[in-house]
Amino acid sequence: MNDVQIAGGSRVQTEPNDFVHVLLFRCMNCGLPVVQALTTDSKNLEEIDLNFHNIVCRCGWSGQASGLEAKRHWIESWSKSLSRNRQPD
């Protein structure tokens, strides 16, 4: 398993606003990969692993799977802030 490397060393001082948890599932119908990406302010893997996620495949299959069933689970640092201000809905 590859660890997420944060480049920049001492430059990384500011907390990112969010993290994206990317979960890679396999469709139980057709076997194709189905990616689920969730934004959260938590870097906690277990929090996501223990939750159930709605998976929708292109083949039309949909179902629920816990994060533990994902083939891979990785985290990206993520900032939701856009270059231009966007009013919340």
Q: How far is the CB of 61 from Zn ion (least distance, A)?
A: 4
> What is the layout of strands, in order, in the sheet containing 18-26?
33-40, 18-26, 72-78
Our CB check for Zn ion shows the closer of 17 and 29 to be 29
Measured on CA atoms in the order 70, 22, 53, 42, is the torsion positive or negative?
Answer: positive
Q: Does 23 bind Zn ion (CB under 5 A)?
A: no
- Rule CB under 5 A: choose which of 61, 65, 73, 75 binds Zn ion: 61
- Rule CB under 5 A: choose which of 12, 30, 45, 68 binds Zn ion: 30
Six-digit token pair at 23? 């979960």
Q: How far apart are CA 50 and CA 44, in angstroms?
A: 11
Q: Does 66 bind Zn ion (CB under 5 A)?
A: no
- Binding segment for Zn ion (CB under 5 A), chosen from 25-33, 39-47, 66-74, 78-86, is 25-33
Q: Does 56 bind Zn ion (CB under 5 A)?
A: no
Contacts for 25 with CB less than 8 Å, ≥ 6 apart: 33, 34, 35, 36, 53, 55, 65, 69, 70, 71
- Which residues contact Zn ion by CB under 5 A? 27, 29-30, 57, 59, 61
